[in-house]
Amino acid sequence: MRLVVVGGDAAGMSAASQARKRMGPGELEIVAFERGHFTSYSACGIPYWIGGVVRDRDALIVRGPQEFRESGIDVRTRHEVVAIDLGRREVTARDLDGGGEIREGFDHLVYAAGAVPMTPDWARGNGEGVFGVQTLGDGAAVQAWLDRDPRPRRAVVVGGGYIGVEMAEAMVRRGLEVTLLERAPQPMSTVDPDMGERVGAAIRGLGIDVRVKTQVQGLETANGRVSAVVTQDDTVPADIVVLGLGVRPNTALAAESGIPLGVTGGLRTDLRMRVVGPRGHIEGIWAAGDCVQTVHLLSGRPVHIALGTHANKQGRVAGINIGGGYATFPGVIGTAVTKVCDLEVARTGLTESEAAEAGFEYVTASVESTSRAGYYPGASPMVIKLIAERRTGVLLGAQIVGREEAAKRIDALAIAIWNRMPVEEMTALDLSYAPPFSPVWDPVLIAARRATDAVHAAG
């Protein structure tokens, strides 16, 4: 039996590894095609590598091609799959260095082609010095550009989401003057405006020129290199432009092979990560990672969330099932976290606007507290906001902005949401307490109390 994997990053290689764990090379041949030079690396680490927080590129590589080969997985880097024939159960792959094409038959196929950065028209073919940050290759290109002579001095980052904010900080660390352009009224629109404001202040505190409600209209170039970003208001000089506009599922190839896409543009799968076609799941065709859409467990809606942790889980589930085991991926609840300088920002569940959009009536409660007992050295302020369904009081969402030891508290709230806990029940939770770790009422408990009051008040 043969398994072909399309895309050799987190999702694809997790699937390959799990299948291999359950079936030896005699039972299952595994061939993985990867367009780039690398396998299984931490794309989330790229901004930290560029910023110099992580010194060594190779530190980001979890497992290289040779390691996979040693466990009997035939990894072919620099090979791009250019066609999938579902009828003949065969893929065609092009050797990006040699130029030849090969065909490979399969019994199982894992489609794990990842995502591609959103690239607006104005950013296409418009001079050198414009970068997305999606692959390790992209990261290397940014590094090379920053090291060129004369050195870039001014960076413009377009998009104030996770990657945009992380890259803006990285550019500051590299000594550049940084402007961050964001279309929305605030950066980090993955949290509610009241929380996003705090993030905006922190970014400005780094010396970053944050311009919100700003629409990019085009680029200016000089000598074939980008020289400025033109907005509706202004022309912002730039020696490097970084795009942080999000990603879309890389599903063109799947669509060409006749697999219908979901409303988000991602592949639809069932709980076991089998690709779903017009008539139920397609036998032997699996998908995982940034190219799939999944379900938000609170809204019940399809969502596309490109995140390494989902990719790993989905790949693992696919691989276990291919290997004859049983595992499922039930969906997500929208947990995410990031760090801007020493400000930690985390969210889970639904934001206010997402809750409203899903049809919930809700109440909110925000509390300010500290990471440790107020009298204990290093106690630092944090704000926790909870969103609870009206009447039932079921927790729908949570957001945290704080300093050290703040953001990881979101996991406790994520598990409360996962279990559909009413905020009133949460006030009784037996959470850990000692002065170095929390006030006697942990901020999560204080927030739950306040949210309970809000639920009662709303009736």
Binding status of residue 324 toward its own copies by CB under 8 A: no
Please give the backbone phi and psi of residue 369, each rounded to the nearest 5 degrees, phi first. -150, -160
For its own copies, give the closer residue by CB, 212 or 412: 412
What's the min distance (Å) between Cβ of 433 and its own copies? 4
Binding status of residue 202 toward its own copies by CB under 8 A: no
Among 287, 410, 423, 451, which residue interacts with its own copies (rule: CB under 8 A)? Answer: 410
Residue 175 CA from chain centroid, whole number: 26
Distance CA 181, CA 276 (A): 38
What's the min distance (Å) between Cβ of 69 and its own copies? 22
Among 10, 75, 112, 454, which residue interacts with its own copies (rule: CB under 8 A)? Answer: 10
Length of the chain in terms of residues written: 459
Distance CA 61, CA 83 (A): 28
Partners of 223 in the β-ladder: none
Q: Of 358, 448, 354, 439, which is closest to residue 405 (Cα–Cα)?
A: 439
First-to-last C-alpha distance (Å) of the chain: 60
Binding status of residue 215 toward its own copies by CB under 8 A: no
- 44 is known as an active-site residue: yes
What's the min distance (Å) between Cβ of 432 and its own copies? 4
Binding status of residue 441 toward its own copies by CB under 8 A: yes
Q: Could you give the maximum distance between any two Cα atoms of the chain, in Å? A: 69
Binding status of residue 377 toward its own copies by CB under 8 A: yes
Among 15, 32, 60, 240, which residue interacts with its own copies (rule: CB under 8 A)? Answer: 60
Distance CA 1, CA 296 (A): 35
Distance CA 404, CA 342 (A): 7
What's the min distance (Å) between Cβ of 361 and its own copies? 23
For its own copies, give the closer residue by CB, 225 or 420: 420
Using alpha carbons only, give the angle 357, 362, 365 rounded to the nearest 5 degrees: 125
What's the min distance (Å) between Cβ of 147 and its own copies? 21
Distance CA 228, CA 205 (A): 24
Binding status of residue 438 toward its own copies by CB under 8 A: yes
Binding status of residue 263 toward its own copies by CB under 8 A: no
The residue assigned the tokens 């035939």 is 74
Residues labelled catalytic = 44
Contacting residues toward its own copies, per CB under 8 A: 10, 42, 44-45, 48, 53-54, 56, 59-60, 62, 162, 307-310, 312-313, 327-330, 332-339, 344, 346, 348, 373-377, 405, 407-412, 414-416, 418-419, 421, 427-438, 440-442, 444-445
